[in-house]
């Protein structure tokens, strides 16, 4: 019997008939992910704190792929907004197959200059909101085959990063939480995270305390000698959500251009 190469390889990566919700989808990585997932066949709910950027990203995705999209204004730190996002998704598309908890933010803060309030605020934005969002989507995700939640982790959550103490602690907790969810919510829900290295997101990284010279030094220190593009991360999300990854849960997938593989015997160059 002849084999069908499409069924064998391309189909497992297809997101045809999937409905995917992405938070922070007006930003660099979220918007690129919305484009890639829609290109793979998904209907994407583009949610962001800014309705204007959410609408812009959703319009671009629709124009580029022809897929149906929905833009929703959501502050992920508000539980009523989280519930409203669930309702809006179900009202428009009738189901949800995958949730990407992508919102996150951190900036340079000298180690001993951080207040308790700031630490807690960072934890709520980067970690607690993702927990609560997942909790509210869970009953609906569980109704679908190959349902998943995927988190935008960070390389600063896997290596000591005293310059980003509040953000890095919160991202470390996020990775741990993703594995805990994998252990408890399976087999009905897969839970994975991407450990993201430095990705070009325009102004946002500059606002976080970097300058161009620092970014060049950072890029030069990576094995791949460049910072990532948002699409480098978007393709990883596509894989983790797709049927091709249906036996993968509890994974921390590092996508960082080899940033974590610096030589232990450094030379001058
Ligand atoms: N860019 C990088 O180098 C990098 C590295 C490691 C991890 N990450 C992580 O990847 C994710 C996406 O990063 P990015 O580079 O695309 O950032 P970005 O700043 O370009 O986009 C973030 C988006 O989140 C939205 N947002 C902020 N607060 C929100 C809130 N309370 N509710 C809803 N939306 C909110 C913003 O409006 C923005 O559109 C984040 O979790 C970030 O921590 C990024």
pLDDT for 91 equals 98
**Distance from residue 30's CA to the centre of ligand 1 (Å):** 8
Ligand 1 atom nearest to 156, measured from its CA: 6
Give pLDDT, residue 267: 66
Q: How far apart are the first and last CA of the chain?
A: 56
Structure tokens at 126: 């980067």
- Express as a percent the part of the chain with pLDDT over 70: 97
Q: Are 17 and 41 in contact (CB under 8 A)?
A: yes
Q: What is the mean pLDDT of each run of 10 residues along the chain (269 residues)?
A: 79 97 98 98 98 98 98 98 98 98 95 96 98 98 98 96 95 98 96 97 89 92 96 98 98 95 68
pLDDT digits 0-9 by tens, 60-88: 999 999 999 999 999 999 999 999 999 99
Q: Report the pLDDT value the prediction gives residue 132, as an integer from 0 to 100.
A: 98
User: Is residue 167 annotated as a catalytic residue, yes or no?
Assistant: yes
**Closest-CA residue to 44 (of 53, 30, 132):** 30
What is residue 17's predicted lDDT score, i.e. its pLDDT? Answer: 97
Pick the residue whose CA is nearest to atom 21 on ligand 1.
Answer: 27
Position 1 scores a pLDDT of 59
pTM higher than the cut 0.95: yes
Nearest residue CA, atom 37 of ligand 1? 49
pLDDT score, position 269:
56
Sorted by sequence, the CB contacts under 8 Å of residue 207 that are 6+ apart come out as: 107
Tell me the CA–centroid distance for residue 31 and ligand 1, in Å: 10
Q: Residue whose CA is closest, atom 13 of ligand 1?
A: 29
Reduced 3-state DSSP string for 132-190: HHHHHHHHHHCCCCCCEEEEEEEHHHCCCCCCEHHHHHHHHHHHHHHHHHHHHHCCCCE
Burial of 199 (0-12, 13-18, 19+ CB in 10 A): buried
In this structure, the residues whose C-beta lies within 6 A of any atom of ligand 1 are 23-24, 26-30, 48-50, 53, 74-77, 102-105, 125, 152, 154, 196, 198-199, 201, 204-205
Identify the pLDDT of residue 253. Answer: 98
CA of 112 to the centre of ligand 1 (A): 25
Question: Is-contact 195 158, C-beta < 8 A?
Answer: yes
- Ligand 1, atom 31: closest residue by C-alpha: 75
Active-site choice (6, 118, 131, 167): 167
Report which protein residue has its CA nearest ligand 1's atom 22.
27
Q: Which of 21, 22, 23, 27 to mutate to test the pocket of ligand 1 (most atoms within 8 A of CB)?
A: 27
The CATH number assigned to the domain with range 11-255 reads 3.40.50.720
């Amino acid at each position: 019997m002849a084999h069908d190469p499409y069924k064998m390889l391309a189909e497992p990566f297809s997101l045809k008939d999937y409905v995917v919700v992405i938070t922070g989808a007006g930003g660099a990585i979220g918007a690129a992910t919305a484009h890639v997932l829609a290109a793979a066949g998904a209907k994407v709910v583009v949610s962001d704190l800014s309705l204007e950027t959410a609408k812009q990203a959703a319009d671009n995705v629709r124009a580029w792929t022809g897929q149906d999209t929905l833009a929703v204004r959501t502050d992920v730190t508000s539980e009523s907004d989280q519930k409203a996002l669930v309702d809006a998704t179900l009202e428009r598309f009738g189901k949800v197959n995958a949730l990407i908890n992508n919102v996150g933010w951190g900036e340079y803060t000298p180690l001993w200059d951080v207040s308790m309030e700031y630490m807690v605020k960072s934890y709520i934005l980067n970690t607690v909101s993702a927990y609560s969002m997942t909790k509210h989507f869970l009953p609906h995700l569980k109704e679908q085959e190959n349902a998943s939640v995927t988190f935008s982790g960070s390389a600063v959550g896997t290596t000591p990063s005293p310059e980003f103490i509040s953000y890095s602690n919160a991202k470390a907790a996020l990775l741990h939480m993703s594995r805990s969810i994998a252990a408890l919510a399976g087999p009905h829900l897969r839970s994975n995270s991407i450990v993201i290295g430095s990705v070009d997101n325009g102004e946002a990284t500059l606002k976080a305390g970097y300058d161009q010279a620092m970014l060049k030094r950072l890029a030069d220190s990576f094995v791949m000698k460049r910072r990532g593009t948002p699409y480098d991360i978007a393709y990883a999300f596509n894989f983790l959500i797709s049927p091709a990854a249906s036996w993968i849960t509890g994974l921390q997938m590092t996508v960082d251009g080899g940033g974590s593989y610096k030589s232990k015997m450094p030379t001058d160059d």
